[in-house]
Amino acid sequence: MQNKRWKMRSGQNCAEQVKQLSEMYGIPPLVTSILLKRDVESFDEFINPNVDKLCNPFFMKDMSKATKRIAEALANKETIAVYGDYDVDGITSTAILTHFLRSHGGDVLYYIPDRLGEGYGMNVHAVEKLAKRGVSLIITVDCGITAVEEVEHAKSLGIDVIVTDHHECKDNVPHSIAVLNPKQADCEYPFKKLAGIGVVFKLLQALTEELKFHMQALYDEYLDIVALGTIADVMPLTGENRIIVKNGLKQISYTSNRGIRALIKQSEIDSAHITTGTVGYVLAPRINAAGRIGAPESAVELLLAKDDSAADKYAQLLNNENRQRQEIEQRIFEDAQAMLGDYQNLDDESVLVLAKEGWHHGIIGIVASKITERLNKPCILISLENGLGKGSGRSIKNFNLFAALSHCSEYLVKFGGHELAAGLTVTEENLESFRQAINQFAKDTLTEDDYISEITIDAELPIDYLNLNTVEKFSIMAPYGMGNPSPVFLCKNLAVTAIRTLSEGKHLRLNLSDGRYAVSAIGFSMGELAAKLKVYDTVDIVFNLDVNTYRGERKIQILLKDLRFSVNN
């Protein structure tokens, strides 16, 4: 019904291996079977993601150089600047490094460039401002890996620079005191998928050793914020990220950070049930709103707040800015939808490149993400002003957006990012040439199958398994996210016994039965399917299982991902 390809996760499990691992780790065989199909490399690390399994931070290239220079700056009372980014990853990174250095006697200020006026990353004017303030050491967080010229300019002003970043590296990296980025070709650090805040966290681990402080105190102080930044930056929740997020989520529920507490209260969510979804869809957007339409400093100050009054003030400000962000986002989305409707041959566009004056540069990335999700095509939205366009793009599986932009770099002023998300600057006169070039690159790279959204199914379940007990069995697999998605199940030959829509037709609610057992399922943003169904149709459904807690009562929630008519319908 939704033009999605259903694919059962491959792999034949040995019954004896399933039994052995289930008994060894005390987990249900069904869970063990799914983990084996997902090729989990280390059951011990996955089932017991304890902080003692974190990698040695000194495995990261240049870590010793970085810690020695920072220790020297602290000892000599130098003025240190933490140079951050305006998204959640950058804001959380800025906050924890600033707090850590200040708590160890550092004279520390932080600087986050204005999204609209300065754009992403280091810039010469900012460096000059910091020089005038007496800064002798700049530490970048979540940026800097492409700032070759800016680092050289800082050096010419007598400022040392330490780069900490996690974005893709180009051929040349800055010649700074130290470059901490596990994606460097010659960096032997074993886990390459850290967020920017993950790299900063490794730096704090190394500094804690260098300064001979207690490591557990570091975890107690910052792991909740590190988890928040990691989730918000949509990093794969495997390896070290799983350890960080699994332990950090527990801390968020009883966090000592006044800012997070205030944000939870302002968001009106249950602090006892914080999940990756709560962080990704409730807390992170409020922090992000500061960098998108307000001043990112307010989000940093929220996390640095020393009293509840200040924390409450900043949390309320972010909540209000998030409402504004939602309104702006809806207007841009409607504009983009109208522009897509004007395309006579939309199917011929491999990459959707849309540009318009007046679009808020801080919001276009969210809208690009929504369009990519709906149409399963790479999408780049560009905000034009005075002949210059600032763009934000999102991509699909099998299309490396960073590589695509590298291929088209002759048409761009600058660019940077990841495989699935990137930013760029382009002149208006080069916009059409860029659009043609990236579309040609996509045509040469992608096949028709790449544009079909695929749902990977972990297991088929009978309807009588759809209960709270089954949900509890799978709780050991959490936290869910990129790289470790919530298990997807298939249930066949269910009769539709009732159909209705919610929220003015936006969502779909179905009652389903096999004649013995009955369940209710909800399909968010699937309301249009109601017109294609009728009572007594027989359908197969693909879904996630969740728990809905309302007024203390816990009920199973079946979250539809797709459905189709059964073969014997």
* Helix residue spans in 142-257 (DSSP H): 148-156, 196-210, 215-232, 239-253
Please name the helix (run of DSSP H) or strand (run of DSSP E) that holds residue 44, with its range, or none.
helix 43-47
* CA 419 – CA 556 distance, rounded (Å): 36
**Mind listing the pLDDT tens digit of every residue in the chain (569 residues)?**
666 899 999 876 788 999 999 999 999 999 999 999 998 988 999 999 999 999 999 999 999 999 999 999 999 999 999 999 999 999 999 999 999 999 999 999 999 998 877 878 899 999 999 999 999 999 999 999 999 999 999 999 999 999 999 998 888 999 999 999 999 999 999 999 999 999 999 999 999 998 888 999 999 999 999 999 999 998 999 999 999 999 999 999 899 999 999 999 999 988 888 999 999 999 999 999 988 888 899 999 999 999 999 999 999 999 999 999 999 999 999 999 999 988 767 788 899 999 999 999 889 999 999 999 889 999 999 999 999 999 999 999 889 999 999 999 999 998 988 888 999 999 999 999 999 999 999 999 999 888 888 999 999 999 999 999 999 999 999 999 999 999 999 999 999 999 999 999 999 999 999 999 999 999 998 999 999 999 999 999 999 999 887 777 788 999 999 999 998 75
Which residue segment(s) compose the domain that 295 sits in? 60-319
* CA 526 – CA 530 distance, rounded (Å): 8
Residue 106: exposure state from Cβ atoms within 10 A (0-12, 13-18, ≥19)? buried
Q: Which tokens belong to 104?
A: 């160890």
Residue 171 confidence (pLDDT): 84
Is 32 contained in some domain? no
Whether 309 and 184 map to the same domain: the answer is yes
- Please answer whether residues 507 and 526 qualify as being in contact, where contact means their C-beta atoms are separated by less than 8 angstroms: yes
How many C-beta atoms surround the C-beta of residue 549 within 10 A? Answer: 12
- Please answer whether residues 57 and 203 qualify as being in contact, where contact means their C-beta atoms are separated by less than 8 angstroms: yes
* CA 373 – CA 428 distance, rounded (Å): 27
Whether 136 and 173 map to the same domain: the answer is yes
Q: Which tokens belong to 84?
A: 């951050």
Q: Do strands 107-111 and 79-83 pair parallel, antiparallel, or not at all (unpaired)?
A: parallel
Whether 119 and 202 map to the same domain: the answer is yes
Whether 77 and 226 map to the same domain: the answer is yes
Helix (H, G, I), strand (E, B) or coil at 427: strand
Whether 383 and 256 map to the same domain: the answer is no
Is 523 contained in some domain? yes
CATH code of 297's domain: 3.90.1640.30
Whether 136 and 196 map to the same domain: the answer is yes
CATH code of 373's domain: 3.10.310.30
Residue 12 confidence (pLDDT): 67
> Shortest CA distance to 430 belongs to which of 389, 378, 386, 385?
389
> Shortest CA distance to 334 belongs to which of 310, 312, 356, 306?
356
**Order of strands, edge to edge, in the sheet holding 107-111?**
107-111, 79-83, 135-141, 160-164, 178-180
Residue 87 confidence (pLDDT): 92
Whether 176 and 100 map to the same domain: the answer is yes
* CA 57 – CA 209 distance, rounded (Å): 10
Is 463 contained in some domain? yes
What does the DSSP assignment read for 342-397? H-TTGGG-SSEEEEEET--TTTHHHHHHHHHHHH-S-EEEEEEETTEEEEEEE--T
Q: Which tokens belong to 74?
A: 């602290």
| Residue 19 zone, left/alpha/beta (φ > 0; ψ -120 to 50; rest) | alpha
> Shortest CA distance to 28 belongs to which of 47, 42, 41?
47
* CA 205 – CA 509 distance, rounded (Å): 48
Asked which of 427, 451, 475 is the last residue of a domain, the reply is 451
Is 29 contained in some domain? no
Q: Which tokens belong to 437?
A: 């070039």
Is 440 contained in some domain? yes
Asked which of 422, 451, 480 is the last residue of a domain, the reply is 451
Whether 463 and 525 map to the same domain: the answer is yes
Cα 394 to chain centroid distance, Å, stands at: 12
Is 101 contained in some domain? yes
CATH code of 534's domain: 2.40.50.460
* CA 263 – CA 564 distance, rounded (Å): 41
This prediction has a pTM of 0.89
Whether 486 and 436 map to the same domain: the answer is no
Helix (H, G, I), strand (E, B) or coil at 101: helix
Is 19 contained in some domain? no
> Shortest CA distance to 137 belongs to which of 68, 209, 212, 207?
68
Whether 274 and 368 map to the same domain: the answer is no
DSSP 484: B
- Rounded-to-5 percentages of helix, strand, coil across the chain: 45, 20, 30
Give the chain's domain count: 3
Residue 418 confidence (pLDDT): 82
Please name the helix (run of DSSP H) or strand (run of DSSP E) that holds residue 322, with its range, or none.
helix 308-342
Q: Do strands 507-513 and 518-523 pair parallel, antiparallel, or not at all (unpaired)?
A: antiparallel
Helices 196-210 and 239-253: angle between axes, nearest 10 degrees: 80
* CA 412 – CA 430 distance, rounded (Å): 8
Which residue has 């799914």 as its token pair? 34
Is 336 contained in some domain? no
Q: Give the phi and the psi of residue 504 in degrees, each rounded to 5.
A: 60, 40
Whether 130 and 267 map to the same domain: the answer is yes
